[in-house]
Amino acid sequence: MIIDFTHSFKDYHEILDFYGVWDYECPNPECGAKQHPMRRHARYERSLVMWDADAGRLKEERMEILRLKCCSCGSTHAVLTMDVIPFFAYSIQAFLALVSLCMAEKSSVPQTGEKADVSCQLLYRFLLIFHEYAEKLMLFLRMETLWEGERNPLESQILPLLLGKSPPWPQSCFFQKFRSPIFLHRKSTVSYPLRFGSAMP
Ligand SMILES: [Zn+2]
């Protein structure tokens, strides 16, 4: 898997329509190929669950994903964007919108579930993931200068601060530095090593 932090769901067509030389490195750790080893290989369709702010509920979008093949080792890799959480059907916007509704004052998980037509089980899972990544989110807030306090913000403050800049945060310093998604919803990447691509030329 290659994650392109300079693109999002909205401009994925630029990736699909790109016939130039790819700047991504081969994600296969056993592959020694360095410069421009990737070639277009195939496309496939997947769904991405987005947040429809006007309707206040989720909507499913289909998107075409490009798969690249390494000329050197023959491995193939899907190109994802910064708003796609790896191994997760929900976009980062949908995830944050639902967590934010659950955490809003005078709101609760069952109420949010009913309003947005989502199961409570899923919402509790979202809250758990959010909690699990709180520290990384604080780092993100500092790097994006969304929080400059000496102490870390309270966990309940994270989300409003985070949404002070709407996702998917292109040009984010955090992504430029770490080349890693905030919510990598997988404990171990040992069996599936990830590499993160840089900008396309
Ligand atoms: Zn390779």
Q: What is the pLDDT of residue 186?
A: 52
Between the CA of 141 and the centroid of ligand 1 the distance, in Å, is 35
Q: Share the mean pLDDT of the chain.
A: 84
- Distance (Å, whole) CA 136 – CA 197: 20
Question: What's the chain's Rg over C-alpha atoms?
Answer: 18
Contacts of 123 (CB under 8 A, 6+ apart): 98, 102, 109, 112, 113
Average pLDDT score over residue span 130-143: 88
Q: How confident is the model at residue 196 (pLDDT cuts 50, 70, 90)?
A: very low
- Distance (Å, whole) CA 102 – CA 129: 13
Between the CA of 30 and the centroid of ligand 1 the distance, in Å, is 7
Between the CA of 2 and the centroid of ligand 1 the distance, in Å, is 12
Between the CA of 170 and the centroid of ligand 1 the distance, in Å, is 27
- Predicted TM-score (pTM) of the model is 0.80
Q: What is the pLDDT of residue 132?
A: 86
Between the CA of 105 and the centroid of ligand 1 the distance, in Å, is 50
Q: Give the residue, 153 or 175, on which the prediction is more confident.
A: 153
Q: Poorest-confidence range of 96-105, 169-178, 192-201?
A: 192-201
- pLDDT of 191 strictly over 50: no
Between the CA of 1 and the centroid of ligand 1 the distance, in Å, is 12
Model pLDDT for residues 27-66, shown as the tens digit of each residue = 888 888 878 789 999 999 998 999 998 998 899 999 999 9
Inter-helix orientation angle 109-116/120-132, to 10°:
120
